[in-house]
Structure 1
Amino acid sequence: MAVNKVILVGNVGKDPEVKYFDNDVSVCNFPLATSETYTKNGEKVTQTEWHNIVLWRGLAKVAENYVKKGMQLYIEGSLRTRSWDDQDGNKKYITEVMANNMQMLGRKGDNEGPAAQVSSDTAQSTKPANESVAEEETDDLPF
C-alpha cells in the first residue's frame, strides 16, 4: 500500500496564472508559502517553505476568479515530480502539489467571514462542498 497525500495551510505568494487548452481545459499555477516559527537560542526564528500548487479544470477556474496574492488557503492533494530538458540540454526537475481540494480561508491575518471550500468534484458539479469524492486520474495532461 502506498500513500501520497499532502495537506497545506499557507499564503498565496502571487496571483494565480491560468492557461487554457483544448476543450476548455484549464490549469492554474501559483506558489504557496508555509511558515514554521520556533525558538533557537532564545531567539524567534521563522522558516518558510514554498510549494508549487497546480489546479486543473473547475478548481483552476475557481482560483482564477477568487484566489489572490496574500490569501490564506487550505490545500489537499498529492506530490508529483516531473522533469524536462532546458534550452542547454540540462535535465530540470520540479515537484508540485496536484491539488484536488482547496479551502479559501481569507487574507493573512483576516479572520472575518466564512471559509469557502472547493474540491475538484464540486468545482465541476452541483454536489455539496462537504461531500468528498476522490478525483479521477488525468492521463491527458498536455506535458
Structure 2
Amino acid sequence: MIKLTAIGNLGKDAMLNNVNGKNVINFTVAHTERYKDAQGNQKDKTTWVDCAYWTERTGIAPYLKKGTQVYVEGQPDVRTYTTKDGTNGATLTLRVSSVQLLGSRSGDTSPSSGGYTGSGYQSAPASNASPMTPSSDITEAFDDLPF
C-alpha cells in the first residue's frame, strides 16, 4: 500500500456529493514551493491534489472552505488524460482516509469563512491545560535518562 500525506490550502470550497447512495466530499489542496533557479531568481511551483473523501461523517464539509489549511492522508492515484489539442496531461488524485483542519488564512473562525469552531474540530484552550511542575519541585535524579 502506498500512503500519501499532504499539507496545503484548499483552492475552493469543498463540495458534498452523493454517488450511488454514498457521500463523498470533493476538494482540492494546493502547496506552493518557493525556490531559486540557476540564475538566482525566486520561482514558485504549485502542486495541486484533487481529493475525494468517501465518508458518512459529512459534518466537516462546511469547514472545508477556500484558503483553509488542511492535513490530508490517503491513497494516491495519478490519472493521465489527453486534451482536445492532443497534448498529454496528468493529475494527482487522493482517496482521503483522514483529514485534519489546521487553520485559515484570515484568522476568522466562523464556518462561513473557513474556520473551525465546531465541536470536535478545535483543540482544547490552553487555559484548560494542566499546570507544569516547577523545576524546583522535581526530586528525581537528572542522570537517569530513559535511553
Task: Report the TM range for the smaller structure's normalisation.
Answer: 0.5 to 0.7
Q: Structure 2 CA distance, aligned partners of 1:5 and 1:93?
A: 19
Normalised by the size of structure 2, how large is the TM-score?
A: 0.59
Structure-1 separation of matches of 2:41 and 2:106: 23
CA offsets 1:117-138 (integer angstroms, 9 cap, x no match): 8xxxxxxxxxxxxxxxxxxxxx
User: Does the residue aligned with 1:58 lie in a helix, a strand or coil?
Assistant: coil
Who is 1:8 aligned against?
A: 6
The residue aligned with 1:108 is 105
User: How far apart are residue 80 of structure 1 and its match?
Assistant: 2.9
For residue 45 of structure 1, the aligned residue among 43, 46, 59 is 43
CA contact (8 A) 2:26 2:52 kept: yes
After TM superposition, the structure 1 = structure 2 runs for residues 17-56 of structure 1, keeping only pairs within 5 Å, are 17-21=15-19, 23=21, 25-40=22-37, 41-56=39-54
Opposite residue 98 of structure 1, the aligned amino acid is R
Q: Report the identity percentage.
A: 28
Query: Which has more radius of gyration?
Result: 2
Spell out, residue by residue over 1:13-46, the C-alpha distance to the aligned partner (whole angstroms, 9 max, x if none).
Answer: 01111112455x2011111101111122222211
Partners of 1:93 and 1:44 lie apart in 2 by 26
Question: Residue 80 in 1 paired to residue 77 in 2?
Answer: yes
**Structure 1 segments unaligned to the other structure (5+ residues):** 85-91, 118-143
Number of matched residues? 109
1:98 pairs with one of 83, 90, 95: 95
2 CA distance for matches of 1:46 and 1:83? Answer: 24
Residue 58 (1) aligns with residue 52 (2): no
1:119-130 alignment runs, 5 A limit = none
The alignment yields a C-alpha RMSD, in angstroms, of 3.4
Q: 1:82 deviation in Å? A: 6.1
Distance (whole Å) between structure 1 residues aligned to residue 91 and residue 42 of structure 2 = 31
